[in-house]
Amino acid sequence: MEEKVKARVVIDDRIRHGKPIIKGTRITVDEVLGALIGGMNYEEIESEYGIEKGDILAVIEYTASFVRGEEIRPLGIKA
């Protein structure tokens, strides 16, 4: 994971039961993703949650890192 993401997305067992959060806040990665999925734009999320665009981009990069390099194999369906 890139250093800029590590600087913004952190895990602290004492905050929100160890869910990944935006550093310096109690805003979780899944809250930001939910806002994006729900149709909020960056400016609305920044205003609603008091975070910066860089935080939102770090959330996207953080979650993308889980599927990057994922190996996909066919299920072997017989014709």
Tell me if 55 sits within 8 A of 22, measured CB to CB: yes
Question: With pLDDT > 90 as the criterion, what percentage of the chain qualifies?
Answer: 73
User: Tell me: the pLDDT tens digits for 20-41?
Assistant: 999 999 999 999 999 999 999 9
* Domains of the chain with bracketed CATH: 3-67 (1.10.10.10)
Orientation of helix 42-49 relative to helix 53-67, angle to 10°: 110
Residue 1 has a pLDDT of 63
pTM of the predicted protein model: 0.83
